[in-house]
Structure 1
Amino acid sequence: MMEHNEEVYDVTIIGGGPAGLFAAFYAGLREMKVKVIEAQSQLGGKVHVYPQKMIWDIGGMTPINGSGLIEQMIEQGLTFEPTIELQQTITKMNKLDSHIFELETDQQKIHYSKTVIMAVGAGVIDPIKLDAENASLYENSNLYYSVKSIADFKDKTVLISGGGSSAVDWANELAPVAKQVILIYRGDDFKAHESDVSKLARNNVEYRTHTEITALLGDDSINEVKTLNNQTNKTDTLSVDAVLVNHGYNRNHQLMTESGLQIELKDNYFIQGNVLGESNIPGLYGAGDILSHEGKLHLIAGAFQDAANVVNCAKRYLDPEAQKVALVSSHNARFKEKNKEYLYTK
């Protein structure tokens, strides 16, 4: 039975990554009633894939790792206390005769909103799990699908499985701290930039192509891995302290392809919008990686600009007499009391 959340919000933001969180902040700044619906159990979006990576290309911000950026984005995004709904995936959208959007989730809940901002990136991201018997038993010990702390691999023999940019990148990143890094890939050639592949040898990374994991051995944690060379059918057993799997991600495209709305899409997924993030559906906007247009900037900084643009459009959609943009924060009365916390207590 569907649970109806009868309260109608000015804007509902689908996705709690960089674009969604900044949109929540900026909509709150514009005195809009805001709800954020996030499919994962935590806010932060795709940045959770690279929590230890350093990010240099956000204007005015000194280098920060993914985890630090997530903390700051969440703190900013919650400034004006938006309603947050976690672990809910929107499965269907409709627009009622009253011009209110009806959003149905996989948790049998229905939400209502006057406008909607799609900030779902490239879809709900889940790592492709290792296809080996009992692999799930080691996920709480030494089988990893992402690197949350480089220190977890210090002085260890690490086996990395994968042939893309992420696998090669982590092999080079972990080599200076690990005792040994072994990189295996079932294909012919690593699908990474040539300069990164060439670093493997300089970093003393042992790498093998045409090689895949067939079994994980150990009691509470993995201590040996059986591998197979799929060209020669030769098997091998490697002693390891940790296994890192980078086999890519499953992406859920259901919302964009099966929505009750006829959203104009590019490549059957991305919202085909304009530079302001407006879609062909009045009141429905795109921000971040989900948005496609000729001047698109595929950086986190670009996601922030998208967010401000679509919030301004949504505000004017609801109130055509509203200012086109929010008053800048340095002169905005909404920060008068909040500024005191930073000026006099921090």
Structure 2
Amino acid sequence: MTAELELYDVTIVGGGPAGLYAAFYSGMRDMKTKLIEAQDELGGKLLIYPEKMIWDVGGVTPIRCDRLIAQLIEQARTFEPTIVLGRQVTGLQRLDDGTMTLETDNGEKHHTRTLILALGYGVPRPAKLELEGADRYEVTNLHYTVTSLESFRGKRVLLSGGSDAAVDWAMELEPYAAGVTMVHRRERLGGHEKNVRSVMESTIRVMSPYVIEQLHGEGDRIAAVTVRRVNAVGEPTEETERLEVDAVLINHGHPGDFGPIADWGLEREYANIRAYERMATSLPGIFVAGDTASYPNKLKLIAGAFNDAAVAVNGAKLLLEPGAPSMAYVSSHNGLFNERNKALAAKQRS
């Protein structure tokens, strides 16, 4: 059965920034490439924040998340990798010839010589508000992400959370909303210092340490929220306040799920997979990149994910061809781009 499967040099599991860049870079290394993504669209965790502005990608001026996704996908398709969507990898079988067969949740099999895990933190699922009956408002005005800033225009927004993402959303929402109130269970917000200072100097009301205690509904919508102050160890105090709201946004993180891959025996470090030289894991032929990877001095930026991806691809290439160059030639001197460069130059002249 496996002999009938098309054999790939590398299979990338995960379609976020690390996986997409790995798909591009493996083309630069002239590797036959497949990418498998559990969700029905590419983008990974970036899909959660389509309207968020991203400032820290090298050489790219501030760009909306959805636009960055589109550009990453376009780049990933440069060398025409095979892309499989809506399939979660569940099983791994090692064959006598050293190759691997992957099985997905629908029973499909995929044959590969090497594997790069670019899972992010797993399939992202928002941490839900743990209050009885909260789910009934998810179809109206209880939100776990922002897909349209315009939909919050003129509304009184309560945002629960204090992470980088929550701080960013508060600042994004401020020009649109009638008012933004942030509720955070810790004394201090946890975002980058500059962004936290911007929030504290803005019109955004920050209530910390507070937690949401009760939702007050009118029909199928939340009309008000009771929040309660907590002490330094998170225990409730007697101090409460009722806030009239038009929308509630919950940003309590997006814990991921590696699914059955978590049971493959990969060496783990906290919630991540331990990476060694050339982004190799503890299992032969399997590499890791992006947020999934754990190693000293890890750079938790999209730029770091790109670097991880290239190093992992180089590791896979050298495993298959020990005599190959240690890295791809830079694009300005890479013959793979000669014809493409001529086409681009002609287009710019026309």
TM-score calculated relative to the size of structure 1? 0.85
Distance change (3 Å), C-alpha of 1:303 and 1:169: closer
Q: Which amino acid aligns with 1:80?
A: F
The structural deviation recorded for 1:313 is 2.2
Rounded Cα–Cα distance in structure 2 between residues aligned with 1:252 and 1:203? 36
Distance 1:133 1:144 in 2: 16
1:29 corresponds in structure 2 to 28
- Work out the CA distance in 2 between the residues paired with 1:67 and 1:93: 33
Alignment of 1:135-146 (within 5 A): 135-146=134-145
| Match in the other structure for 1:291 | 293
Q: CA deviation at 1:218?
A: 4.5
Aligned match of 1:270: 273
Match of 1:97 in 2: 96
In structure 2, relative to structure 1, the CA distance for the partners of 1:331 and 1:246 (3 Å cut) is: same
- RMSD across aligned positions (CA): 2.9
Paired residues, number: 339
For the 8 Å contact 2:52–2:169, the answer to whether it is kept is no
What is the aligned partner in structure 1 of residue 254 from structure 2?
Answer: 249
Q: Secondary structure at the match of 2:255?
A: strand
Q: Distance in 2 between matches of 1:128 and 1:245?
A: 8
Taking the TM superposition and a 5 Å limit, the aligned residue runs for 1:22-101 are: 22-101=21-100
Change (3 A) 1:254 1:341: same
Cα deviation 1:262-289 (Å, max 9, x = unaligned): 4333236322312x21223332111112
Contact 2:154 2:178 in 1 (8 A): yes
Structure 1 unaligned blocks of 5 or more: none
**Contact (CA 8 Å) 1:3, 1:109: kept in 2 or not?**
no
Instruction: Find out whether 1:217 has 2:220 as its counterpart.
Output: no
Matched letter for residue 263 of structure 2 = E
Q: CA deviation at 1:86?
A: 1.7
Gaps of 5+ in 2: 229-235
**After superposition, where does 1:1-346 map in structure 2 within 5 Å?**
6-132=5-131, 135-185=134-184, 187=185, 189-193=187-191, 199-208=198-207, 209-215=209-215, 217-219=217-219, 222=221, 224-229=223-228, 231-232=237-238, 236=242, 238-259=243-264, 262-267=265-270, 269-274=272-277, 276-346=278-348
Q: CA deviation at 1:247?
A: 1.8
SS of the aligned residue for 1:113 comes to strand
Contact 1:154 1:179 in 2 (8 A): yes
Counterpart of 2:214, as a letter, is T
Q: Once the 2 structures are TM-superposed, how far is the Cα of residue 116 of structure 1 from its aligned partner? A: 0.2
Separation of aligned partners in 2, 1:75 and 1:179 = 38
Q: 1:213 to 1:112 in 2, by over 3 A?
A: farther
In the alignment, the residues of structure 2 paired with residue 320 and residue 290 of structure 1 have an alpha-carbon distance, to the nearest angstrom, of 26
Deviations 1:75-94 (A, max 9, x none): 10111221112222223323
Structure 1 residue 6: deviation in Å?
Answer: 2.2
Change (3 A) 1:318 1:345: same
Distance in 2 (alpha carbons) for counterparts of 1:196 and 1:321: 48
CA contact (8 A) 1:256 1:269 kept: no
Amino acid at match of 1:181: V
Percent of matched pairs sharing the same residue: 43
